[in-house]
Amino acid sequence: MKDALLRTSGWKHFLLLLMVSMLFHLPSYGYTNMDNAGMSGIVRIAPPAEGGKSSTKQVKKAAAKDRSSYDQINPEFRNIGPGFGGMNAVPFWISVVVFLLAMGGIIKGKNKVVKNISKLAALIAFGVISYITYWEARALGRQQGYAPVQPIWFSHKVHVTQNKIDCEYCHVDVRESRHAGIPSLNVCMNCHSTVNKGKNSGTQEIAKIYDYLGYNPKTRQYDKPGKPIQWIKVHNLPDHVYFNHAQHVQAGNVDCEECHGPVEKMDRVVEYKELSMKFCLDCHRERNIITDNQYYALYKFHLNPGEKPKVKDIGGQDCSSCHY
Ligand code: HEC
Ligand code: HEC
Ligand code: HEC
Ligand code: HEC
Ligand code: HEC
């Protein structure tokens, strides 16, 4: 083996070794556009299955069977993510094949033309492979494009855009607390005790609300046993990061859309932005703070006339603001 290594000319071997090392990264290439119940990235969050047992396969099968006609990611939110808009498995594998064939052409090619064309093809394929590897490596541990199937088909498009319900009607804690909060099913019942049918899903999905709550639409009583619903968390920062909604929405007056994208157009929630450290810092370096509230009453006193402090000036760039 050592002799063989020494004998082969340097650069060919270098490329081959690089190829082999890339094969070890392959598991991460399955990451493309996770639109199903389990996620195929690094973080796996087991989705709840009907009847207690949790199995990705089970949930996927059930979801495919009973709601495939309406529960889809809207076309404009597909393929969000790293690489070629998240669609990187296909170009990756094509490039691998092209690269291997081209290597064959370089080594075994009969004449100069074949060799030169092979070199060019190898170079291009290598470029594509490197490009995808770079974006996939960046995305490791992040979940941009993640869009799990939820236990009830809850559409923000139907509720926010078509029925004009305000975000904060449901996400009530977003101004006061670290977490925006997910509404309890009792909030749904403010309307769905009367609205029992939807244009897309008929009675099927709304009936699930009744099921979870133990509500009997015939008697209009809660006379059946209920069970807790387990929504699947979409946005999930690592545990070593502190993030607070109230600080951004209330004090900073930042729109939901700047971090979550156009949720009001989504039938199924998709993690729209790459929630990386760069994403947070880019804004903190540029954004002015709003000093008109009580909190800054004294701080304002220390500013020169016309001075407009940015988030970084109040500690928005200090490691310990976000990591402690
Ligand atoms: C009628 C209630 C309702 C309204 C109105 C509503 N939401 Fe939601 N939202 C929910 C429920 C229920 C979930 C959990 C299920 C899901 O993820 O689809 C959710 C999930 C989310 C999530 C994903 C949470 C996670 O798991 O990471 C975001 C982000 C979100 N909503 C933002 C918004 C924004 C922005 C608006 C306004 C444009 C809005 N919501 C309006 C009920 C609502
Ligand atoms: C500055 C960025 C930012 C803004 C603005 C923002 N969010 Fe979030 N949101 C996040 C992040 C980051 C998470 C993930 C939090 C975590 O994992 O701890 C999140 C999580 C959520 C969740 C999941 C439950 C939770 O609280 O963890 C909901 C629901 C949500 N956001 C709704 C909203 C709504 C509604 C608004 C606007 C009123 C909003 N967000 C504004 C960044 C933002
Ligand atoms: C403020 C009133 C209101 C609240 C609160 C509300 N909904 Fe709705 N929901 C509606 C209306 C209106 C429709 C549309 C019915 C139609 O298609 O004509 C609807 C439709 C639906 C549908 C069927 C969509 C379709 O087109 O098939 C589902 C499922 C649903 N809601 C679930 C929920 C869940 C889960 C919650 C609680 C998180 C909730 N809703 C909270 C008013 C509300
Ligand atoms: C679109 C702009 C924007 C984005 C994106 C954003 N922030 Fe902020 N952030 C702000 C603003 C504005 C403030 C100042 C709020 C105030 O006035 O107290 C702030 C303040 C903070 C603070 C308090 C800083 C201090 O020392 O007072 C923390 C912590 C923080 N953000 C964490 C995060 C994290 C973590 C993320 C990424 C997930 C993030 N932010 C993304 C706009 C943003
Ligand atoms: C505004 C908030 C914020 C500040 C300030 C901040 N970080 Fe981060 N940091 C984050 C977020 C969000 C992540 C998670 C990114 C992800 O999931 O990929 C992170 C991740 C990390 C990681 C893990 C590697 C990674 O990319 O996931 C390290 C290490 C780190 N930060 C170090 C630092 C250091 C050192 C500083 C100070 C110079 C700092 N951070 C300041 C928000 C912040």
| CA-proximal residue: ligand 4, atom 39 (nearest) | 280
For residues 14-38, give the mean pLDDT: 54
pLDDT at residue 292, as a whole number: 83
pLDDT at residue 276, as a whole number: 94
Residues with Cβ < 8 Å from 241, sequence gap 6 or more?
A: 322, 323
Radius of gyration of the chain (CA): 26
Angle at 64 between CA 61 and CA 65, to 5 degrees: 85
On average, the pLDDT of the chain sits at 84
190 half-sphere exposure, CB direction, 13 A CA radius: 7
For residues 242 and 233, give the distance between their C-alpha atoms in angstroms, rounded to a whole number.
17
Dump pLDDT digits (tens) for 222-263.
Answer: 998 999 999 999 999 999 999 999 999 999 999 999 999 999
Amino acid at 257: E
Report the largest interatomic distance among the alpha carbons of the chain, rounded to a whole angstrom: 85
289 half-sphere exposure, CB direction, 13 A CA radius: 21
Q: Which two tokens stand for residue 162?
A: 């078509």
| CA-proximal residue: ligand 4, atom 11 (nearest) | 252
Q: What residue spans define the domains of the chain?
A: 2-139, 276-324
Dump pLDDT digits (tens) for 128-141.
Answer: 999 999 988 888 88
Residue 282: enclosing H or E segment and its boundaries?
A: helix 277-286
Ligand 1, residues at Cβ distance < 6 Å: 150, 154, 156, 159-160, 165, 167, 169-171, 182-183, 231, 233-235, 256, 260, 263-264, 269
Residue 181: enclosing H or E segment and its boundaries?
A: none
pLDDT at residue 126, as a whole number: 96
Name the pLDDT band for 104 (thresholds 50, 70, 90). Answer: very high
C-alpha of residue 280 to centroid of ligand 2, in Å: 13
**DSSP state letter for 248:** I
| Prediction pTM value | 0.85
C-alpha of residue 96 to centroid of ligand 3, in Å: 47
Dump pLDDT digits (tens) for 81-92.
Answer: 887 777 788 899
pLDDT at residue 57, as a whole number: 67
